Chains A and B, each alone.
Chain A
Amino acid sequence: MEEPKMAKSPELPTTSSGASSSSSTLPENVSYDKIAWTRDITEPLAEESSTSQLRPLGTSISSDSTTEASTSNTSYSFTGDYLSGGNIADLKSGTSSAGAESASKSSEKDKENKEQNDESLYECNICLDTAKDAVVSMCGHLFCWPCLHQWLLTRPNRKLCPVCKAAVDKDKVIPLYGRNSTHQEDPRNKVPPRPAGHRTEPDPAPGFPGFGFGDGFHMSFGIGAFPFGFITSSLNFGEPRPAAANRGTTQYEDEQTLSKLFLYLAFMCIAWLFFT
């Protein structure tokens, strides 16, 4: 994408020849971000190249680019340095930075190799494939949820981590949600359902302190007839309640049935009040 633009720009007097020749020798595997970076610097160069100052600089660049064909795309950085500093000493520091850059290229290759090794970091410890519907145990070991589920089914009375033999339980594994996991089907709908994440609400901000003596002890005064006092004390108005349990857990189901039960009780109390 950069090549035609560089060839077209007629304003570049001597650098254009050097640039076009060097751009034709650009290695094919130049990374995208590097190209974008050179363009940022060459644009101000194109504006100021009409000034006469640049001509000797351009020649020095072309000589540089011929000697160092491998760093041809970095040769523009010299002009950038020169334009900002306007100093030949800067130009020399530019060459040294080019050397550093070629060194960083080789380190990039090392990085690629490392990344290939790092892929195994995200392999399921059971199927040895990249983990699907990933869950992580409390001891930090990664599994596909179907794999771990199968393992826990295989030995129902000895639920141990397949890697370190720490205790593992269905309720004590954490699902890992990647960036695009919402676009996929909800893994919990699949069989076997993946356990839900445990989400802890942050502590509520302190509001009206009430008649409290320090933390934890609260006192309230009230005068009321039997049913109202009963209702207020049993329904706990104004007190912070624990966070609702997550969907799909047994705790959530229990809470649902309990709340229904209390609702029926309340209706019965009201009905009793009316009919007596």
Chain B
Amino acid sequence: MANMAVSRIKREFKEVMRSEEIVQCSIKIELVNDSWTELRGEIAGPPDTPYEGGKFVLEIKVPETYPFNPPKVRFITRIWHPNISSVTGAICLDILKDNWAAAMTLRTVLLSLQALLAAAEPDDPQDAVVAYQFKDKYDLFLLTAKHWTNAYAGGPHTFPDCDSKIQRLKDMGIDEHEARAVLSKENWNLEKATEGLFS
């Protein structure tokens, strides 16, 4: 079976390389090791979303039982999204779990993840804090997602206000990533964030 997994991944790799999306630079894939069990994917943030302009790197691990079981996919690039953990990058997507079908390929998985960025499901969240912000304070969610896209994925929108608040926490000896996470969680309320960090 392992043989089948490798031969299929090789075919899928070629399929992605020949696909239209690679011409448009919307998805990308590369090998991590020679055994074809681990790959690195990259998807572009879809237009008209807070992720526009960003490049998100994914870790793809192919199990021995592939394609009968789904590949294990995780975001390496940090992202602010209701269905993706802002801490670990774990993804909540049905086709990567129960709704996986053996006819799906790396290409369809990458395109599905791109679609997930464009259409979040806050009612089935992976990151409850993000999902709450998405439902309760959508404007703040957009700002935070754009800020994270800029900070981690090379997005175009900069927010000096956010940066100065993070700098304030950094001056107090807090790690930049932690400062950003706490501020995002506390809806960019600096006092609450400091309280949470030092209480």
Q: What residues make up the interface of A, taking CB atoms closer than 8 Å to B? A: 125-129, 141, 147, 150-151, 154, 158, 160-163, 165
Interface of A is mostly: loop
- Chain A residues contacting B11 (CB-CB under 8 Å) are 128-129
B101 touches A128 (CB 8 A): no
Instruction: With both chains docked as a complex, state the minimum distance between the C-beta of A129 and any C-beta of chain B, in angstroms.
Output: 7
B7 touches A129 (CB 8 A): yes
5 A-B Cβ contacts within 8 A? A126-B67, A126-B102, A127-B67, A151-B68, A158-B98
Give the complex CA separation of A126 and B100 in angstroms: 12
- Chain A residues contacting B67 (CB-CB under 8 Å) are 126-127
A127 touches B7 (CB 8 A): yes
- Pick the residue among B69, B101, B102, B104 that contacts A147 (CB under 8 A): B102
Known: A127-B4, A128-B12, A129-B7. A163 touches B68 (CB 8 A): no
Which of B1, B8, B11, B102 is the most central at the interface, judged by chain A CB atoms within 10 Å of its CB?
A: B102
Give the complex CA separation of A48 and B114 in angstroms: 74
B103 at the interface (CB under 8 A from A): yes
Which residues 84-116 of B have a CB within 8 angstroms of A?
98, 101-105
B19 at the interface (CB under 8 A from A): no
Known: A150-B68, A154-B65. A162 touches B12 (CB 8 A): no
A154 touches B69 (CB 8 A): yes
- Chain B residues contacting A162 (CB-CB under 8 Å) are 101-104
Instruction: With both chains docked as a complex, state the minimum distance between the C-beta of A247 and any C-beta of chain B, in angstroms.
Output: 29
B103 touches A163 (CB 8 A): yes
